[in-house]
Amino acid sequence: MKSEQELRSQIMRRVYGVYVTRLIARPAMRIAALGALYFAVASTVSVPHVIANVTHVSGVSGLLTFTLSALLNTQSFVQLAVLVASLIIVWTLADIAKNVSRPRGSLSFN
């Protein structure tokens, strides 16, 4: 059996987890997170060189091959940042799709 202090700590961890999840769920926080990820990646990767290399790629399959090759041959930090940014974008698009089907006046990003 857990002591009262252990129970209190466990409950407060869960409350904090819910608080952080709700904080992250706000659209402004998502945009801020995407901005921070962009600047973190831009400080690690030479964006002008990437853009210059992309201009030499032709076709959709070439673009997919280039993107996959670039992601596989970069630092793990950049890979993680791209993964997190992709998840945030998918999450936001899913919320937008969900809210489009709602009646007017009930827009919510929760």
For 84, half-sphere exposure in the C-beta direction (CA atoms, 13 angstrom radius) is 18
Contacts of 71 (CB under 8 A, 6+ apart): 78, 79, 82
Q: In the prediction, which pLDDT does 17 show?
A: 86
- Number of domains present in the structure of the chain: 1
Q: In the prediction, which pLDDT does 27 show?
A: 83
The answer to whether position 2 is within a domain reads: no
pTM over 0.75: no
Q: Taking a C-beta distance cutoff of 8 angstroms, is the pair 100, 92 a contact? A: no
DSSP-assigned letter for residue 45: S
Q: Taking a C-beta distance cutoff of 8 angstroms, is the pair 30, 92 a contact? A: yes
The answer to whether position 109 is within a domain reads: no
The answer to whether position 9 is within a domain reads: no
The answer to whether position 37 is within a domain reads: yes
Q: In the prediction, which pLDDT does 64 show?
A: 94
The answer to whether position 40 is within a domain reads: yes
The answer to whether position 1 is within a domain reads: no
Q: Which domain holds residue 55?
A: 27-100
Per-residue pLDDT of the chain (110 residues; tens, 9 = 90+): 678 888 999 999 999 888 888 877 788 888 999 999 999 999 999 989 999 999 999 999 999 999 999 999 999 999 999 999 999 999 888 888 887 776 665 555 55
The answer to whether position 35 is within a domain reads: yes
Q: In the prediction, which pLDDT does 36 show?
A: 94
Contacts of 37 (CB under 8 A, 6+ apart): 81, 84, 85, 88
Contacts of 53 (CB under 8 A, 6+ apart): 66, 70
The answer to whether position 66 is within a domain reads: yes
